[in-house]
Structure 1
C-alpha cells in the first residue's frame, strides 16, 4: 500500500510541474503577443479619450479665419470700433423696438386682420434706416409682410450657393397689466449707457438690425460679392411662422431648389456662455420637435345636487396627474448634439470643473450602453430637457356654472420632443395613458387621427396641433461649419479670463423659422454672437435687454462670415 501511494505522489508531482511550466510559457507568449500587438482602443471603454490632452481626437478646433480682403475688413472694423457708429446703431435698434410689432395667437389672415398693418411700419423703418441697402439689393415680398433682400453675387447660384441669414420682425406681446413691472417701458427702446431695454432687444430685432447692418457696411466698403447674399425677415415666427416663414421658404425654394443654399444662419438660444469654467460658442445644429396635444372629454350633464362619482373635470384631473406622473425618460445618446458638447467640455474644460462621474459614462454611452446613457441624463439633471421630451399642461377648461354638472372639459399639453423620439412615439404614449383611464370610467376612447365626432356622449378624444418632428442634425464636418467656426474664433472673445473660446455643437430646445427650410440645405446653424445671460437676456418676459457693448459688434461677426464664405468660392 505504501509503495503504490508513493508512486502516485511522484506521478502527481511531475504533472503539477508540467502544468505549471505550461502556464508560465502561455503567460509569456501572451505577454509577447500583447507587446507586439496592443489591444485596439475601439474594443475597450475609451476612458482616456475623454480626459485632458484628448483634443487631437475629439472636438477639434479650427484656427481663426480672417477675410482675405483686408481693405474691406479694415473698413468694417474701423467703423464698428468708432464711438460715432455705436451711437448710430444703438439708435437704430432703439427705433425699431419702438414699433410694437406684436404677433398674436388669434391673428386672422393677412389682409383681413388689421393688426398685421404694424408690419408696414417695420418695413418703412428699415427702408428709411438703410437707403444704401435698398438701392443695391432686390426686395421681394412673401405674403405681403415677409421681406426677402437679395444681394446678387457675380457667380451664379448654381456654382456658388447663396448664404442665407434669417431674422423675424415680430415680438411676443406685452400684457398691459405687466407694463408696470418693467424697469423701462417695453416699447421705449431705452438706452441707459450700458444696456438697451425693450421687447425685441434680443428676440429678435437686435439680430435683424445686426445682419442688415453688416450688409450695409459691406456695400459702403465697396465690396462686391461672388456668392449671393440673402436676408429674409419673417413676420410671425413667434406664432408658428405659417404666414411669413413658410411663404419665404417656398419663395426661396422656387429660386434655388433642393440643397440650393450654402448655409443658413438664424438666432440661437445660447450664444456665448461659460459652462464648466470654460467659454463656449454654442452653435445649435438641431432643434427639438414640437407637439401640442389636445384632450377633450364629454359626458352628460345635470343638476349639481345629484352628481356622478366622477364628472369630466375630475376625470380630466386624473388624466393630468397620469401625464405628470409618467414623464418621458431621459438619455444622453450620440444622436443628440449635446453629446458633442459634453465631449468638448470633457477635453477642453478644466479637469477640476468637469464632473468625474461623467467621463466614464460618456465613454460607455458612446458605445451604445443604454444604462450609461440614462445614468448620464440623471447625473446632468439640471440640463434634463436637452436630453428628454418635455411636457407642460398649459391650458385647461371645464364647466360653465357652479351648480351644473359640466358636460365638457379640455386641456392642451405642450411637448418639445427629444432628438431621438418621434411624434408617433409620443402619440402612442398618450394613447396608452388616456385610453386606460377612459376604459376605467366606461367612456368611449378615440385616439389621434380619429374623427372625434362620435355621437357618444361619454367619450375622450385626443388630437395633435402643430406637429413637428425633431429637426435633422446639421453636419459639423463640412466646409460651411469650418468657415463659421473660424469666423467665430477670429471675431468673438472668450468670457472672463479664459484663454480660448471653444466652438461646440449644441441643441436648440425651442423652434425657429428654420423648420421650414430643411429642404434648402443641411447646413442650418442657429447662433447669436453675444453672451446671453439671465434667461436669454429675459426674452419673452419683463425687462428684455441686450448689452450695448456686445450688440454693436454683432455686425462685424456677420460681415466677416459673409467675407469668409465668399473667400472659399472657387471659379
Structure 2
C-alpha cells in the first residue's frame, strides 16, 4: 500500500498543473497567515495607542475642583437646591423671554432704526430684576446696547487678570406665519412644570440669566472677589455682532490691553452629550471659519422664442453642479480639536462602542499618514465628518423676472464653514479655479474675488465674498484656566448615566459666536453650555425652542463655582 501511494505521489510531482496548484494553495495559505498577522498586529497597535488603559497618556482628566470658600459654596448650593429659588429663577427666565429682542439682517444703525429700541426694555428688565447686582457692579455701554458689568476685585487686573463671561441679548426672529406651529407662543415664556418654552430659552437668554444670577448669588453670600469679574452682553450676535460684539471687545481691549483677560466663557453648541456610549462635557476650544460666496452671472437677454443654447440661469446651474460635484476634501489631523475629542472617546468609551474604523483613522493621523480617502473619512466619521472638512451649502438663488423673457442676470449665494486647517485664501482659490473654467467654456469674462465687476461688460461671471472670517485660533487645553474649568465641570455637573463618568474633552464649534471679536484679549477662550443640549441645540433657531428646567436652574451654580475656583488661584 505504501509503495502504491509513493508511485501516486511521484506521478503528481511530475504533473506541472498539480505543482502550480499546490504552489498557489501554499502561497494563499502564507498570504492569509501574513494578512491575519498584519491585521492582528495593526489592531494591537491601535489598541496600544487608543484603547482602555491608555487614559494616563491620552486625555488625562483632572479631579473634581471644589472652592476653598466652603461657606460661600454651601450658601450657593443650598439656594440652588431650594424649590423656592428654582421657582424664582424660572420666572426670571420666562420674563426675559417675553421681551421679543429680535435682531434682523437688514437693521439700520443704532439710534436710527427704531427696532433697536427693544434692547432698552431688556436692560431695564435686568436692572429691575437684579438690583443687588447693579448696585455692586460698574455698568458701561458699548454702542448704546452693549452691556458691560464689572465687579471689581481687590487685586489689580495687572496682577490678577479678570474673568470674562459672555452672553447675548438678541434672538433669531420668529416669522408670523410660523407662530401657529409653536406648541406655546414663542414669546410667552411658558413653563409646563418640566420645560421652559420660548425663543431664546437656550440661545441665549438662559445662559445670560444664569451668568448674572451667579453674580447675584455670590454678592448676596457676602463673597468679595480678588479677581475682577466681567459680564458682557451683546445685542446682535445673531447677525454678526458688529454693532455690539465688536464695540464691547474694543472697550475691553482699551481697558485691559492685549492678553489682559484670564479666561473667557461663552455659549457652546454641544454642552453635555452622550457619544460612543459615554458621557462627555464638550468644550469648544475653536470655531470653524466662515465665508459667504456670491456668484453673479450676466448675459444677454431677449425674447424667449429665440434663446441661446445656455442662458444666465443655465450657466449658473452649471456652476452650482460644479460646486456640489467638487466638495472640499477632509483630513484628520492633530491640529483639529475634534481629533482630541476622538482620542478621548477612544480611550474612555467602551471598546465595543468605538468603531475600529475610527481607531484606524486616528492611528493614521497620529502617524501623519494623510492618505485617508474621502470615502474612508465619510464611512468612519459619518455626520461628524463636517468637523474635519470645509462644508458648503448653496442657500440662495435668484434669476429671471418673466417666463417669456431670457434672463439677463442670475445669482446665488453659497455658505461655507471653513475647516480648522484651511484659510479664506484657499477657499477662494478653489472657487475661482472651478468657475473660471466654466466662464472660458462659454466665452464670458471672469472676475475673481479681488477684481471689480465691470457693469459695462454684458457677458461675465463675477465672484464676491461676504462676512469672511478665518478659523479661530485653537485655545490651549493644557493650561491652569482649562484645568480650573474642567475641575469645575467635574465637581458640579453630572454624567447622563448613573454608572458613567463625565469626561471633559476639547471640541470644535462648527458655528460662530461673539468670541470672534475677542481673540486679542486672551488665548483662553472656551465655549460651553452646562446642560444637555438635544434636538438640534434644544431647537434653537427653529420652532419650539426650549430648555429643561431641572438643568437650567443649576447653571448658576456652575458659573458661581467657576468664579470661585478662578479666584482661589489668585495669590
State TM-score, norm by structure 2.
0.91
Structure 2: distance between partners of 1:456 and 1:171: 42
Structure 2: distance between partners of 1:452 and 1:158: 50
Does 2:202 match 1:199?
A: no
Does 2:280 match 1:280?
A: yes
Does 2:521 match 1:520?
A: yes
Structure 1: distance between partners of 2:305 and 2:362: 60
Paired position in structure 1 for 2:18: none
- 1:357 deviates by 2.3
SS in 2 for 1:52: coil
Query: What are the equivalent positions in structure 2 for 1:154-553 lying under 5 Å apart?
Result: 154-372=154-372, 375-553=376-554
The C-alpha deviation readout for 1:345-395, integer Å capped at 9, x for no partner, is 010011111112222331221121002485345411221111111111111
- 1:450 deviates by 1.0
In the alignment, is the contact (CA less than 8 A) between 1:49 and 1:57 conserved in 2? no
Structure 2: distance between partners of 1:448 and 1:76: 55
Paired position in structure 2 for 1:128: 128
Structure 2: distance between partners of 1:373 and 1:282: 27
The 1:409/1:376 distance shift into structure 2, 3 A limit, reads closer
- 1:46 deviates by 5.8
CA RMSD in angstroms comes to 1.2
Paired position in structure 1 for 2:29: none
Paired position in structure 2 for 1:565: 566
SS in 2 for 1:507: strand
The C-alpha deviation readout for 1:139-160, integer Å capped at 9, x for no partner, is 0000000000000000010100
Query: What are the equivalent positions in structure 2 for 1:49-88 lying under 5 Å apart?
Result: 49-88=49-88
Structure 2: distance between partners of 1:244 and 1:182: 30
- 1:497 deviates by 2.6
Structure 1: distance between partners of 2:353 and 2:373: 21
In the alignment, is the contact (CA less than 8 A) between 1:332 and 1:377 conserved in 2? no
Structure 1: distance between partners of 2:553 and 2:467: 36
Structure 2: distance between partners of 1:358 and 1:419: 19
Instruction: In structure 1, list runs of 5 or more residues that go unmatched.
Output: 1-43
Instruction: In structure 2, list runs of 5 or more residues that go unmatched.
Output: 1-43
Moved more, 391-400 or 230-239: 391-400
In the alignment, is the contact (CA less than 8 A) between 1:279 and 1:498 conserved in 2? no
The C-alpha deviation readout for 1:115-135, integer Å capped at 9, x for no partner, is 000000000001010000000
Structure 1: distance between partners of 2:186 and 2:359: 45
In the alignment, is the contact (CA less than 8 A) between 1:337 and 1:505 conserved in 2? yes
In the alignment, is the contact (CA less than 8 A) between 2:76 and 2:557 conserved in 1? yes
In the alignment, is the contact (CA less than 8 A) between 1:94 and 1:189 conserved in 2? yes
In the alignment, is the contact (CA less than 8 A) between 2:195 and 2:548 conserved in 1? yes
The C-alpha deviation readout for 1:528-566, integer Å capped at 9, x for no partner, is 000001111000000000000000000000000000000
In the alignment, is the contact (CA less than 8 A) between 1:101 and 1:122 conserved in 2? yes
In the alignment, is the contact (CA less than 8 A) between 1:377 and 1:387 conserved in 2? no
Structure 2: distance between partners of 1:470 and 1:498: 37
In the alignment, is the contact (CA less than 8 A) between 1:145 and 1:234 conserved in 2? yes
SS in 1 for 2:371: helix
SS in 1 for 2:356: coil
SS in 1 for 2:520: coil
Paired position in structure 2 for 1:91: 91
In the alignment, is the contact (CA less than 8 A) between 1:165 and 1:264 conserved in 2? yes
- 1:400 deviates by 1.4
Paired position in structure 2 for 1:555: 556
Aligned length: 528
Structure 1: distance between partners of 2:373 and 2:406: 48
Structure 2: distance between partners of 1:352 and 1:214: 41
Moved more, 78-87 or 493-502: 493-502
Moved more, 476-485 or 496-505: 496-505
In the alignment, is the contact (CA less than 8 A) between 1:331 and 1:377 conserved in 2? no
- 1:306 deviates by 1.1
Structure 2: distance between partners of 1:376 and 1:289: 20
Structure 2: distance between partners of 1:321 and 1:221: 62
State TM-score, norm by structure 1.
0.91
